[in-house]
Amino acid sequence: MADHRSTEPNPGTLAVHGGEPRKKAFDSVTTPIVWSATYAFANTAEIERYFTGDIEREEYGRYGNPTVRAAERKLAALEGADDAALFASGMAAATTALLELVKAGDHVVLTNDCYRRTRQFVTRFLARLGVESTLVEPGDEAALRAALRPGKTKVILAESPTNPYLRVADLALFARARQACPGANLIIDGTFATPVNQRPLAEGVDLVIHSCTKYLGGHNDLLAGAVCGRKGLVEAIKDLRGVLGGVLDPQSAFLLIRGLKTLPLRVHRQNETALAVARWLERHPRVRTVFYPGLESHPDYRIAARQMRGFGGVVSFRVNGDARETSRVIDACKLATIAPSLGATETLIEQPAYMSYFELTTEEREAIGIFDDLVRLSVGLEDAEDIIGDLDQALSA
């Protein structure tokens, strides 16, 4: 009989128990919400022990909270990280990490399809601080290597899968390229994948960023972000978090812990549903193109099949029609809700040209790859046949 024992619990067990002590305060089964901004010391000797590192405890809410730390430990366990730092939003996590890792005169390389607000922060805000940047096409190894400036490049940043075309970065390729640039940190935004489908740290990545608002929270009821990675890097980012102040509140941390406990169940269901929906859409006469890494037609299918344990819950597709006809499809949906997020229990649908890029003209949108007929669908936990039925009647409307 095969020996199924391993040194690390399976993801489902980690999601429930990872990072949490067996015995909790007040004998509670769940991690309590600690609503306190200030923490008392018994005497001066305890203060000295705290600042010399002899004891681990809280001092002030901007530097830590017991409920937040419990959520950080659980997320670190799921990612296979030494440590994790939580923030008030995904952008707070990304911007704080970048501000810690670069200074005037440094250089950042990022793929041109990573989250648009992250691109905006690097190319506009960091540029004002004297940080240079280079955008490269995803999957272009030659362009990536050519963009690196040994001694100056301090961050290589990519998202995988990306929004909205679900491009999958070859993490091993990025890790190999980074070897030519000592001192550079490789960061992956893993929001769309979650630790259930992909663990970038095991592929040589230094830091993983998440918008916990999406799959990790999973219920459309919290705003949070996270950075996971090796201890020294995360500790430095936490120190800067204490200065900048983008901390997470304990109520949101409690909701995140609750969401993480069901993360594998939800993601596995969404993986299955999204693949079924993507295959159905590929056969529909009113659909021009489908973008989903679990389809063999996707340009990164082979990378995704090798690197990921599931293909995710987001499917993008282009309708055979113009902007108005595409809007009519969106408006005709009765089950899918029109909303700008993803990764939750409810199926959400949007037309990126109007939801995220409304201020641009059609020509300006097409120049950055956003077509008026593009639809992004984030499948929820409804039955796959009901989601498909809703799309069928909407496309036929």
What is d(CA 86, CA 88) in angstroms, rounded to the nearest whole number?
A: 7
Give the three-state DSSP class for 62. Answer: coil
115 flagged as catalytic? yes
What is d(CA 237, CA 233) in angstroms, rounded to the nearest whole number?
A: 6
Give the three-state DSSP class for 18. Answer: coil
Catalytic residue among 214, 238, 261, 269: 214
What is d(CA 208, CA 1) in angstroms, rounded to the nearest whole number?
A: 37
Taking each helix axis from N to C terminus, what angle separates 384-396 and 263-282, rounded to the nearest 10 degrees?
40
Cis peptide before 161 (omega within 30 of 0): yes
* 206 token code pair: 């230094």
First to last CA, the chain: 56
288 flagged as catalytic? no
By the 10 Å C-beta count (0-12 exposed, 13-18 middle, 19+ buried), 282 is classed as: middle
* 339 token code pair: 């909303």
Catalytic residue among 115, 215, 292, 357: 115
* 58 token code pair: 């809280």
Helix, strand, coil percentages, rounded to 5, for the chain: 40, 15, 45
DSSP conformational letter for 38 = B
What is d(CA 378, CA 313) in angstroms, rounded to the nearest whole number?
A: 6
* 391 token code pair: 């799309």
14 dihedral zone (left: phi>0; alpha: psi -120 to 50; beta): alpha
Which residues lie across from 338 on neighbouring strands? 349
Evaluate whether 173 touches 155 at the Cβ level (below 8 Å): no
238 flagged as catalytic? no
Catalytic residue among 83, 113, 189, 206: 189
DSSP 255-307: HHHHHHHTHHHHHHHHHHHHHHHHHHHHT-TTEEEEE-TTSTTSTTHHHHHHH
Evaluate whether 274 touches 311 at the Cβ level (below 8 Å): yes
50 flagged as catalytic? no
What is d(CA 107, CA 341) in angstroms, rounded to the nearest whole number?
A: 31
Catalytic residue among 24, 49, 50, 62: 62
Residues belonging to the active site: 62, 115, 189, 214
